[in-house]
Amino acid sequence: MLFSDVDRLRSIAGQVGPLQVIYGGKAHPKDEGGKSLIRHVFQSANILRDTVPVVYLKEYDMTIAKLLCTGVDVWLNTPQKPQEASGTSGMKAALNGVPSLSVLDGWWIEGCVEGVTGWAIGDSWEAESSPSKEIASLYEKLKYLIIPMFYGRPNQFAHIMRSAIALNASFYTAQRMMSQYLQNAYFAA
């Protein structure tokens, strides 16, 4: 989704402020669709190499996830609705004060408080993904909201980071997960 219009991304980075992208994740050896998406990321990275640095971290595992979830400025998650099972990695980011910019799917349907804990890509959770609307929303939020705030209003950005901890990280814990499994599934009958 991020690379659906590389010219647009290049112009946003040029006009609004520098941008760098770090990918983590891997495809199952038999997942041809997943492997072809990763090839597309590499092709786009090559096209953008002079304006937007893109790296793809190989062998994504807990050690790398720990660095990524704690070290980035925004956690971008772009699943196709309604296929996001949960989105645990966005919760791990929130625990580290990293706000999400994500499609409203999985945990983000509940966790997103727009402009407070992060930002939604698109504006409704009921429907299936509408790629063109979501792509427009992603680029618009980066261009008009998130990058200008990051560079121009760092105090406001830091406030969002703190709200991600206060509202998301305090709620999306393994303790809450286990007690909801017990209440809603195991002991529900």
Give residues in contact with ligand PLP (CB under 6 A): 60-62, 65, 86-89, 92
Q: Closer CB to ligand PLP, residue 13 or residue 104?
A: 104
Closest CB 92 distance from ligand PLP, rounded Å: 6
Q: Which CB atom, from 47 or from 171, has the smaller least distance to ligand PLP?
A: 171
Report whether 99 contacts 75 (CB < 8 A).
yes
Distances (CA, A) of 23 to 14, 46, 58, 153: 21, 14, 9, 26
Shortest separation between residue 89's beta carbon and ligand PLP, angstroms: 3
Q: Which amino acid is at 50?
A: D
Q: Which is nearer to ligand PLP, 48 or 84 (CB)?
A: 84
Q: Provide CB contacts within 8 A for 121, sequence distance 6+.
A: 1, 78, 101, 102, 103, 104, 134, 137, 138, 141
CA distance 41 to 112: 27
In terms of CB distance, is 92 or 141 closer to ligand PLP?
92
Cβ distance 60 to 25 under 8 Å? Answer: yes
List the structure tokens of 171.
């709620």
User: What's the min distance (Å) between Cβ of 112 and ligand PLP?
Assistant: 15
> Cα(79)–Cα(85) distance, rounded to whole angstroms?
10
* 87 versus 122: smaller Cβ distance to ligand PLP: 87
Closest approach, Cβ 34 to ligand PLP, in A, equals 12
What's 114's DSSP letter? B
Q: How far is the CB of 10 from ligand PLP (least distance, A)?
A: 27
